[in-house]
Structure formats: structure tokens, C-alpha cells
Amino acid sequence: MSQLVVRTEAEVERALTHLTELTGQSRSEAVRNAIRAAEREAVLSRAQQQADELRNDPQDRAETLAILAEMESADAW
């Protein structure tokens, strides 16, 4: 496991202390979990952004509607 030194201002130090008191986690555990949570949030945010871009892309929308129409006509059989 690697080691990371982080400089924190008073507000972050207070938040970290409060978090460890609330959760019973060590400072290291709290920081590791916060990093993992931030990564998950960033991944989900990026996926939402990509979905929005596709939803607002007229060419992609037209292709999707064409595929849907093909599928519906195949169901008629």
C-alpha cells in the first residue's frame, strides 16, 4: 500500500474529524472511502453526461428511431 500526504485546511480537518466520529472509521479509512465515493460519483456523472449528449444528438436519435421502427415491423410477423 502506498502512502499519501495531504495538506488540509481547518474546514477539511474539522469535516474529517466529524466523519471519523460519526462512522467510527480511522482517518485513513475515511479518506480512502471518500476517494472511492468521489470516483464512483465522477464515473456516474460522466456516464450521465454521455447519455445526455447521445439523447441530444439528432443523428443518434434518428438512428435509434429507425432501429425501433425496424424492430416493430419485425414484431408484426
Do the Cβ atoms of 27 and 16 come closer than 8 Å?
yes
Grid coordinates standing for 15? Answer: 469535516
What is the pTM for the complete model shown? 0.71
Residue 48 has pLDDT above 90, yes or no: yes
The full set of domain ranges for the chain reads 10-75
The tens digit of pLDDT for each residue in 2-28 reads 999 999 999 999 999 999 999 999 999
Q: What is the 3-state secondary structure (H, E, C) of 37-62?
A: HHHHHHHHHHHHHHHHHHHCCHHHHH
Distance CA 34, CA 28 (A): 10
pLDDT for the residue numbered 73: 81
Do the Cβ atoms of 63 and 56 come closer than 8 Å?
no
Better pLDDT: 43 or 75? 43
Q: How far is CA 35 from the centre of its chain?
A: 12
pLDDT for the residue numbered 72: 85
